[in-house]
């Protein structure tokens, strides 16, 4: 009798689909994965309706509407293991910039009839709403991390996802340090590895698209750059992009409403929660 294949679902909330595209971009690896699993739900690639339960749920996107709160609880109830993929799902995404302002101002600036838009005041990571078993960082996630996560889960072992900072990879490549040699502010010391050091390789400072690395001192780096004369606005722009709402980044330079800080748990870096 044939063994039942593990069932995988890929789900989308508020996001640009980039992390799902990283999964499709796996090409050769995806064929091998597709052979080993049953793709039970993946609207980007198939038209199957949402039915049944899942061994692994890969969740992209943040929670930004009341309807999505109900949907993520439903997915959690259907899934043995839930993995969040990308900056939106792990930290609220670029759309979490609304958390620092009044969402009604954005609505009236963007939409001709804002009264028809049903949205939450905040964009929050999935872990603020349901239990998350594993997080993959990045905007978008690394396809190598995705393949490693799925292969390790199928093999019943712990995924080998590095948790060190971009700086370590930068040193391994022998690149000249931008802040030290040229005075260019770079978030490499506090950013999770995984991108392959793209920005410093092109003489541009890292702006943290993989989010805070494990146990980093964001405030320490901010203070160091401030004492080196980096303007407050430059630091604010660096820290408030795709991972603006990630703990560490969000408290760094802008004021955050007290009630939001206490409610949000946020991500703890790529890895098990």
How many angstroms separate the CA atoms of 186 and 221, rounded? Answer: 10
Q: In the structure encoding, which two tokens stand for residue 165, read together?
A: 């900072």
CB of 9 to ligand SF4, least distance (A): 28
DSSP secondary structure, 43-71, as one string: TTT------S-EEEEEEESBB-SHHHHHH
Please give the Cα distance from 269 to 273 (Å, whole number): 9
Query: Closest approach of Cβ 231 to ligand SF4, in Å?
Result: 18
CA distance to 148, 155, 191, 241, per residue, from 206 (Å): 24, 34, 8, 11
Q: Which is nearer to ligand SF4, 153 or 192 (CB)?
A: 192
# chain residues binding ligand SF4, by CB under 6 A: 22
Decide if residue 177 touches ligand SF4 (CB under 6 A): yes
C-alpha distances in angstroms, 119 versus 67, 98, 207, 264?
Answer: 9, 11, 28, 18
Position with the least CB separation from ligand SF4? 188
Which of the residues 95 through 134 are near ligand SF4 (CB under 6 A)? none
What's the min distance (Å) between Cβ of 55 and ligand SF4?
A: 30
- Single out the segment in contact with ligand SF4 by CB under 6 A; choices: 62-70, 98-106, 149-157, 169-177: 169-177
| Least distance from ligand SF4 to the Cβ atom of residue 175, Å | 6
What x-and-dash track marks residues 179-218 binding ligand SF4 by CB under 6 A? x------x-xx-x---x-xxxx-----xxxxx--------
Cβ atoms 217, 251 nearer than 8 A = no
What does the alpha-carbon distance between residue 153 and residue 184 come to, in Å, rounded to a whole number?
A: 40
Q: Which residue ranges make up the site for ligand SF4 (CB under 6 A)?
A: 166-167, 170-171, 175, 177-179, 186, 188-189, 191, 195, 197-200, 206-210
């Amino acid at each position: 009798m044939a063994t039942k294949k593990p069932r995988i679902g890929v789900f989308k909330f508020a996001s640009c689909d980039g992390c799902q595209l990283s999964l499709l971009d796996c090409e050769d690896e995806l064929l091998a994965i597709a052979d080993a699993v049953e793709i039970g739900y993946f609207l980007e690639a198939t038209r199957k309706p949402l039915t049944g339960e899942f061994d692994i749920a890969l969740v992209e996107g943040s929670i930004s509407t009341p309807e999505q709160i109900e949907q993520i609880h439903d997915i959690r109830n259907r899934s043995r293991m839930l993995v969040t993929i990308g900056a939106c799902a792990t930290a609220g995404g670029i759309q979490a910039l609304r958390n620092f302002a009044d969402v009604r101002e954005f609505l009236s600036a963007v939409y001709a009839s804002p009264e028809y838009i049903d949205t939450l005041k905040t964009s929050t990571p999935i872990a603020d709403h349901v239990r998350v078993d594993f997080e993959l960082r990045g905007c978008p996630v690394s396809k190598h991390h995705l393949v490693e996560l799925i292969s390790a889960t199928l093999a019943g072992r712990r995924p080998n996802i590095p948790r060190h900072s971009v700086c370590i990879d930068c040193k391994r490549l022998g690149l000249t340090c931008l802040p030290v040699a040229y005075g260019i502010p770079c978030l490499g010391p506090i950013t999770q590895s995984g991108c392959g050091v793209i920005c410093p390789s092109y003489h541009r400072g890292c702006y943290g698209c993989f989010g805070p690395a494990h146990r980093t001192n964001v405030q320490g780096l901010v203070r160091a750059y401030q004492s080196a004369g980096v303007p407050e606005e430059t630091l604010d722009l660096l820290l408030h992009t795709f991972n603006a709402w990630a703990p560490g980044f969000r408290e760094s330079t802008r004021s955050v409403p007290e009630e939001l800080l206490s409610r949000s748990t946020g991500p703890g870096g790529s890895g098990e929660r």
